[in-house]
Amino acid sequence: MKIVFNNLVFSFQKAGGISIVWFELVKGFLKNEKFDCYFVRHSSDDTNVNWSNLNQESFSFIDHKVNKKMARLFSPKIRISEKFIYLTSGYDICNNKNAINAIILHDFIYEIFGTFRAGVLFNKWIKHRAIRKADIIFCVSDNTKNDLLKRYPKIETEKKVITIHNGVSENYFILDELNNNNTKKYLLYVGGRSKYKNFDKIVFALEHLSEFSLIVVSGNKPTDLEIELLNSKLGVSRYEFKIGISEQELNALYNHAFCLAYPSSYEGFGIPIIEAQRAGCPVITCENSSIAEISGNAVIYLDDLSVQSFSNAFQTLEDIEFREDLINRGIKNSSNYSWEKMSSQYQLNLYSHIFQ
């Protein structure tokens, strides 16, 4: 069975969350001899660390010699004369009559939080086109599927819509036996800092909780405005940025953090929550979007984003018995997710679709 991957995510992104999902998905397919894998290659793919980490010796390449910005508009020329799966990371569509187009919906952030700008409008249009023309739509959570159905209520009668949860790396685990003496007085923040992530609310809370410092792990350096906010509220000695660190380094930070602070207003999935749980790190977050779906009862949900709500959550985590119970619940919950499980579910669904 032939499957063509368009690795647009490797061209458009640094090594971020979606790039990691795509990398693990492709890696799983390469291990399955039932699939004859082809890859649409772009000139900038090799700038993404996840693309370079794939074993490319066994790849069959299809070069897409189109300007990077236009790559999602124009279908690559694929000369395959039998039915094949076209799985894309960037909402483009293959026009080959033998292609079964499959897309992965991660979230609806542009639709919910996007502003009236050309780039946002283009991304919304390209996603709309892909949803309308795709044969199979994969959603990374039931929440993303529900967001899809709100906007396209008849889509389930027209297409195959399937929820497959993301996975989590086995590089996140408890380094030592559960021992609260290993806990340090820093909050960990992982990921981007777009407005809906509410990063500023953590800073405002820590201004009044001087016993805590903040470590920010991200793929992007802080902006001048973020530095100004952090310096004015916390001071230079109470925060630190770690840019582009390894999973091993992040695992150590999870292990010794007081907690992961993840007060996002919306997530398509929320991988850092599961990473933290695997590493025995308590999570403070908000009960919305996909977060409640993937976290279960193994996190502390904030009542709101006030300083008092953060303070109450921190006080709760000071209780050693409660903390240990929450950690154990997190470990149990995180065991439901793995990259291998995720990839095998994609393989099973695509294989059965071809031969149905």
**Segment 102-126, tens digit of pLDDT:** 999 999 999 999 887 888 898 899 9
Mark whether 68 and 160 lie in a shared domain. yes
How confident is the model at residue 179, as a pLDDT? 52
According to DSSP, residue 69 is labeled: G
Any domain includes 175: no
Mark whether 9 and 95 lie in a shared domain. yes
8 Å CB contact between 103 and 85 = no
**At CA 128, angle to CA 127 and CA 130, rounded to 5?**
65
Alpha carbons 152 and 138: distance in angstroms, whole number = 14
What is the number of domains present in the chain?
2
Mark whether 155 and 143 lie in a shared domain. yes
Mark whether 145 and 198 lie in a shared domain. no
Q: Which domain holds residue 240?
A: 180-334
285-293 CB contacts, 8 Å cutoff, 24+ apart: 286/198, 286/262, 288/264, 289/143, 289/264, 289/265, 290/140, 290/141, 290/142, 290/143, 290/144, 291/262, 291/264, 291/267, 293/141, 293/142, 293/143
At 284, which CATH number?
3.40.50.2000
Q: State the DSSP H helix or E strand holding residue 247, giving kind and residue range, or none if neither.
A: helix 247-256
pTM confidence score: 0.92
How confident is the model at residue 108, as a pLDDT? 95
Mark whether 91 and 195 lie in a shared domain. no
**At CA 179, angle to CA 176 and CA 181, rounded to 5?**
115
Written as one letter, the residue type at 191 is: G
Alpha carbons 46 and 344: distance in angstroms, whole number = 26
The pLDDT tens digits of the residues spanning 127-144 come to: 999 999 999 999 999 999
More confident residue, 172 or 8: 172
Mark whether 151 and 259 lie in a shared domain. no
Mark whether 223 and 288 lie in a shared domain. yes
Residue 304 phi/psi, 5-degree rounding, is -160, -170
Mark whether 195 and 123 lie in a shared domain. no
Partnered with residue 185 across adjacent β-strands are none
8 Å CB contact between 92 and 127 = no
Alpha carbons 289 and 270: distance in angstroms, whole number = 10
